Amino acid sequence: MDFINHYHLVEEKNGEYTLVIYLNAYEAEFAKELSQADDETKKNLYHTIKDAIDQRFPKLRVTLCKIMLGSMLVTAIPLVNTVNVRAASTSITHKVMSGDSLYKIAKRYGTTVNQLKKLNNLSSNLIYVGQNIKVSGTSSTYVPNKYKVSKGDTLWGISSRYKVPIDTIKRLSGLTSNTVYPGQILVLKGTATAAKASVHYVSHKVVAGENLWSISVDYGIPQSELIRTNGFNQNTQLRIGQIIKVPVHHVPVKQVSSYKYGEYLDWWSEAQYVFTINKIAKVRDYHTGKTFNVKRTIGANHADCEPLTASDTAIAKSIWGGYSWKTRPVIIEVSGRRLAASMSFMPHSIQKITNNNFNGHFDIHFANSTRHKDGAVDYTHQASVKVAAGLA
């Protein structure tokens, strides 16, 4: 999960543990949305966190997850006595221990003293050891709008858990089979309208050492788009303290019919904003399943990439049989997503990474991307992209 900076476990007095997750600093908007999430969203998040804990810390009793942005508590997710989504009436309780206070309990579970008093019909702040304090509660079975598939999930299991017919999930999620894979987003209620890519704009204050290129790379957009957005030209010199307008793109995940395929994303409006310059990705060869790591270093009409290490170069050479302009369908695994693409493996032109036994860069194409030399569509690459997307 790219939004996580790091995490650690804190051992409590009773031998239980609290998992503390720190978000990346640039996830302030996500943190705000999470802090205002309703019970349904938090319960869905609970399943994701619980599955991860069961895999990583199977022998530890982790009873609480705190999500932090710096020193600020965004939300707290209790992991014991939690809601069974099929139950008609459930609640989350905390058994008071020596040294506890309503303030400490509220702080631990990310709520307030007044909310605890209201939920437990308390007229004062006095509590006693052994008392069961209700932390949250609900009176109805919930069904989230969307569900993120975890390892071990099946379509039948998800359907049974939320009491939503399999055919309904398939129709809303655009599925053509009963196969689901970890990380896949399923729609459980609503309409089957497909989400569209969108863009909003933020203000950026120029600091020392920045230029149009560095800012465009930091925000994952083409330099030409930053120039066009602000009415600049190639010779524009930025001033320290200058406020400029920066487009931020949101590219929704597209459904695929099977885990073996990747999302079919248009290069110009979608893929280039997911696989941005300086991003590291794993390339999975469609036919052999072999994988190696690459970095997108440059490229406007398509992604110009380089093997990350000499070992990655060797793996790629074993797939292509050496250096070759031959196109092959590949899956690009980046930022938790799997994108359909086409790749050739011939070193040429500009090189950014050294000591990788590859003198230059190679090309990765996506839907509707074009060649740099003439701006034309390379139809052999496009055919391979469709194979990787399950469309050919």
pLDDT digits (tens, 9 = 90+) for 139-181: 334 567 788 888 778 887 787 777 788 877 877 876 666 777 7
Give the domain range for residue 117.
86-142
Cβ-contact 200, 248 below 8 angstroms: yes
Q: Say yes or no: 311 and 273 in one domain.
A: yes
Q: Say yes or no: 347 and 310 in one domain.
A: yes
Q: Say yes or no: 279 and 300 in one domain.
A: yes
Predicted pLDDT of residue 25: 55
Distance of CA 300 to the CA centre of its chain: 24
CATH of the domain at 243: 3.10.350.10
For the chain, give the mean pLDDT. 83
Cβ-contact 94, 47 below 8 angstroms: no
Predicted pLDDT of residue 54: 73
Q: Say yes or no: 40 and 69 in one domain.
A: yes
Number of domains composing the chain:
5
| pLDDT of 28 strictly over 70 | no
> Residue with structure tokens 């987003």?
185
Q: Say yes or no: 14 and 103 in one domain.
A: no
The Cβ of residue 339 has, within 10 Å, a number of other Cβ atoms equal to 27
- How would you classify residue 199: left for phi > 0, otherwise alpha for psi between -120 and 50, otherwise beta? beta
Confidence label for 35 from pLDDT (cuts 50, 70 and 90): low
Q: Say yes or no: 219 and 277 in one domain.
A: no
Q: Say yes or no: 151 and 137 in one domain.
A: no
Q: Say yes or no: 151 and 138 in one domain.
A: no
Residue 223 lies in a domain: yes
Predicted pLDDT of residue 110: 63
Residue 259 lies in a domain: no
Q: Say yes or no: 320 and 367 in one domain.
A: yes
Rounded Cα distance, 353 and 295, in Å: 9
| pLDDT of 89 strictly over 50 | no
Q: Say yes or no: 69 and 126 in one domain.
A: no
- Compute φ and ψ for 285, nearest 5 degrees: -65, 130
Residue 260 lies in a domain: no
> Residue with structure tokens 């802090």?
35
Rounded Cα distance, 285 and 384, in Å: 11
Cβ-contact 309, 295 below 8 angstroms: no
pLDDT digits (tens, 9 = 90+) for 351-377: 999 999 999 999 999 999 999 999 999
Q: Say yes or no: 75 and 99 in one domain.
A: no
Mean predicted confidence (pLDDT) in 186-203: 77
